[in-house]
Amino acid sequence: MPVREAEVRDADEICALIEEHARYEGNDTLTLDRAEMTKHLFGPEPKAWVLIAEPPGSNTVAGMAFCSWNFSTWEGRPGIWLDDLYVRPEYRRHGLGNELLAALRSRTDGRVEWDMQEGNERAAAFYAQLGAQPVPGWVRYRWSPGS
């Protein structure tokens, strides 16, 4: 199976994937603190978790799903918040994104939710073929420190 749990040895690669994704989306300045990310993912009180995608027969990190648990009061059950899904361009169209999302779906009988940047038609088509749908009538807000 090409999807596995991330391990502490993957922290640098996880940060590299996030930075690559940021550049792909037009943010050329994002640089993550590897030690801080390692603490948040693998420390005594992890705040998030990551699934790693590797092509069959390879130990190459091709992509990831960066997640945390959430809870729906209206459904009365936990779900998964997918903060980042990224597959490196050279590994796309080989089913790794499907594998990552299927692995997430298998972990909860609740919601799996994520944001998508407006105008990303390729991603919208990919999510639609999975059966995922945009959530009408909801607007995401963000309250950041210093606001």
| 67 touches 76 (CB < 8 A) | no
In this structure, the number of other CB atoms found within 10 A of the CB of residue 120 comes to 12
The whole-number pLDDT of residue 147 equals: 65
Q: Is 85's pLDDT higher than 90?
A: yes
% of the chain at pLDDT higher than 90: 71
Compare 102 and 143 and report the one with higher pLDDT.
Answer: 102
Rounded Cα distance, 45 and 5, in Å: 17
Model pLDDT for residues 15-28, shown as the tens digit of each residue: 999 999 999 989 99
User: How far is residue 13 CA from its own chain's centroid?
Assistant: 14
The whole-number pLDDT of residue 1 equals: 58
Mean pLDDT of 96-116: 94
Q: Can you list the domains of the chain with their CATH numbers?
A: 3-130 (3.40.630.30)
pTM: predicted TM-score of the whole model, two decimal places: 0.90
Closest to 87 in 3D by CA, of 63, 53, 59: 63
Model pLDDT for residues 8-60, shown as the tens digit of each residue: 999 999 999 999 999 998 999 999 999 999 999 999 999 999 999 998 888 89
At 89, the pLDDT band (50, 70, 90 cuts) reads very high
